[in-house]
Structure 1
Amino acid sequence: MVKTDELSVEVSVIDPQVAVVVVQGELDTQTGTLLHHQLANQLVHGRQHLVLDLRAVPFMDSSGLSVLIRAGNDTKRVEGSLRLAAVSPEVRRLLDLTGISVSMPVHASPEEALFAIAAASLPDGAASGPEAGTNTGG
């Protein structure tokens, strides 16, 4: 776990290509660099699919949005994905207003996001259960 007075980032490696990143605290100019470095570190270590658990992020500004956009682009470059999970209503509103929730999958829980990653790696039609790529409210 990496922690400052304003932000805590805890990474759980699910398998060699997948990590869940739990973020706690406000995501802004002061804290965005810490999260960016943690996400970049996961990509360097081969984890191309990242799930961001944002349930404990009560506030995000344009710097935080920039970190999400950059991380989304970075995961696409390595043929991976960035999925947002358990987003607070305040942050969800910001994602909706800026259109980010249209281009970046938002899931109700980290478990749902992990299922979507697993389903996306199966041959077409082989997945069962919740729809893999849906954007659910949070």
Structure 2
Amino acid sequence: MSLMEENLNVEVEIHDPVTAVVTIGGELDADTATLLHHHLANQFLHGRRNLVLDLSALEFMDSSGLNVLIKATRETRSTGGDLHLAAPTPAVAKLFDLTGLSLTTSVHRDVGAALAAVEPAG
């Protein structure tokens, strides 16, 4: 197991043909941002245009992680979908507020609320 995999855990659950729930745990920083970017790019490649990111287990995020989320937001919206952030920890939510990401990207209290906000497939 590489150092990146030890510091970041990413699990993907396909909700429907165009929606995936991506659970992110650990630390999202300069050392692990590329790993998350690859996971998200794989979802775009398979036609998922709506992504729900479950951040409930994300302990730390820096500007590299924010950059991945901003790029993913642009990518989902360019395909007619959207990115939804769910259950951020208090430290991560504060980062979203300080940087203004919470003003431009939907932040939900939990995964269920985020999925309810996703446009139905069709």
Fold agreement, TM-score > 0.5: yes
Per-residue deviation, 1:67? 0.4
Which residue of structure 2 lines up, in the alignment, with residue 134 of structure 1?
none
Per-residue deviation, 1:110? 0.6
| TM-score, normalised with respect to structure 2 | 0.93
Query: Matched residues in 1 for 2:40 and 2:94: separation?
Result: 23
Query: Matched residues in 2 for 1:6 and 1:89: separation?
Result: 19
Query: Matched residues in 2 for 1:44 and 1:121: separation?
Result: 20
Higher relative contact order (CA 8 A, sep 6+): 2
Which residue of structure 2 lines up, in the alignment, with residue 107 of structure 1?
108
| Ranges in structure 2 where 5+ consecutive residues have no aligned partner | none
Bigger share in helix: 2
| TM-score, normalised with respect to structure 1 | 0.83
Give 3-state SS (helix, strand or coil) of 1:79's partner. Answer: coil
Give 3-state SS (helix, strand or coil) of 1:59's partner. Answer: strand
| Ranges in structure 1 where 5+ consecutive residues have no aligned partner | 123-138
The 5 A counterparts of 1:1-138 are 4-117=5-118, 120-121=119-120
Give 3-state SS (helix, strand or coil) of 1:47's partner. Answer: coil
Once the two structures are aligned, what percentage of the paired residues are identical? 53
Give 3-state SS (helix, strand or coil) of 2:28's partner. Answer: coil
Query: Matched residues in 1 for 2:58 and 2:69: separation?
Result: 13
Query: Matched residues in 2 for 1:5 and 1:89: separation?
Result: 23
RMSD across aligned C-alpha pairs, in angstroms? 1.3
> What letter corresponds to residue 7 of structure 1 in structure 2?
L
Q: How many residues align?
A: 118
Give 3-state SS (helix, strand or coil) of 2:83's partner. Answer: strand
Per-residue deviation, 1:58? 1.3
Q: C-alpha deviations, 1:101-130, integer Å up to 9, x for none? A: 00000000111100011xx449xxxxxxxx
Query: Matched residues in 1 for 2:120 and 2:54: separation?
Result: 21
> What letter corresponds to residue 70 of structure 2 in structure 1?
I
Bigger share in strand: 2
Q: C-alpha deviations, 1:30-63, integer Å up to 9, x for none? A: 0000001100100110010000000111111000
Give 3-state SS (helix, strand or coil) of 2:71's partner. Answer: helix
Give 3-state SS (helix, strand or coil) of 1:26's partner. Answer: strand
